Amino acid sequence: MRLAILASGRGSNLLAILEAIARGELDATVVGVFSDRRAAPALVHARNAGIRAQSLAPREFASRTDFDEHLFSLVDAVQPDLIVCAGYMRLISDPAVAARTGRMINIHPSLLPEFKGLRTHQQALDAGASVHGASVHFVTSELDGGPVITQVRVPVERGDDAATLAERVLQREHPLLVATLRELAGGRIAWIDHGVHFNGHPLAAPLQLDAGNRLVQEPTA
Ligand SMILES: Nc1nc2c(c(=O)[nH]1)N[C@@H](CN(C=O)c1ccc(C(=O)N[C@@H](CCC(=O)O)C(=O)O)cc1)CN2
Ligand SMILES: NCC(=O)N[C@@H]1O[C@H](COP(=O)([O-])[O-])[C@@H](O)[C@H]1O
């Protein structure tokens, strides 16, 4: 599976993907890394791995749609099978999403539909949540509203602040994203009829990552 990664920041999820590929645990190839921030460390990780790494500055474009048109022309040029938003911090415009629905996923640091948007860890703390986590979902026009594929639960611990909680969640995001990509690469998870299918059947609830980093289906009521 040819993967194009969109990232705005440090790129730890990108590194997790590259390390899984290097260990032979993920049958995929990262064919390009793209960013809205020229200084994104994720671009450095890509270049160090010999992978095409390109960025565009949103301020140089007249509109969000114009920026997306140019950025996704760079993405399309590497002919990805799947586009992975891994810490990509821009809302993607409707035309760009519509042209790629079912071929673009995002990893989001909350148990969607809880806590969409930004500052999710502080949102969880402010809400008094005892359990937080991360979700991988298909990208749709609705920000963080697309069908959820997989999730991992992470406990909120006494004395947590946003930073300590974010770090605990991030450590579970990496195996979640890799496990999800493994199922997508293997064709066991697919976008069919505008929804998530698993093993040929509509997925009634997100698959959950267990302590052994296996994706399991929990019984639905
Ligand atoms: N159309 C969609 N675009 C994106 C989605 C999506 O589901 N649909 N997921 C996001 C990722 N994301 C959270 O997981 C997210 C990204 C960006 C923002 C946001 O408010 N960005 C602001 C700028 C914020 C900044 O620069 O610090 C903006 O774009 O104006 C919220 C959530 C990827 N895109
Ligand atoms: N709204 C998107 C969002 O907040 N994504 C989050 O950004 C971090 C990226 O880390 P990374 O750059 O080290 O992979 C991750 O925690 C990811 O869930």
The ipTM of this complex is: 0.96
Max distance between CA atoms of the chain, in angstroms, equals: 51
48 labelled binding-site residue: no
Tens-place pLDDT, residues 135-161:
999 999 999 999 999 999 999 999 999
Structural domains in the chain, sorted by start: 2-216 (3.40.50.170)
Provide mean pLDDT across the span 39-58: 98
> Rounded to whole angstroms, what are the CA distances from 191 to 24, 104, 199?
25, 10, 11
C-beta separation of 191 from 201 below 8 A: no
Ligand 2 pocket list (CB less than 6 A) = 7, 9-13, 42, 86-87, 89, 107-109, 134, 170, 173
pLDDT, position 221: 67
Is 92 known as a binding-site position? Answer: yes
**Residue 159 contacts by C-beta under 8 Å, 6 or more apart in sequence?**
none
Residue 106 annotated in ligand binding? yes
Nearest by Cα to 32 from 22, 46, 20? 46
User: Has residue 83 got a pLDDT over 70?
Assistant: yes
Q: Is the pLDDT of residue 61 over 70?
A: yes
pLDDT attached to residue 97: 98
Ligand of minimum distance to the alpha carbon of 5: 2
Ligand nearest to the CA of 141: 1
**151 vs 149: CA distance, rounded Å:** 7
Express each pLDDT in 163-194 by its tens digit: 999 999 999 999 999 999 999 999 999 999 99
**Centre of ligand 1 from the C-alpha of residue 155, in Å:** 25
Q: How many angstroms separate the CA atoms of 67 and 163, rounded? A: 31
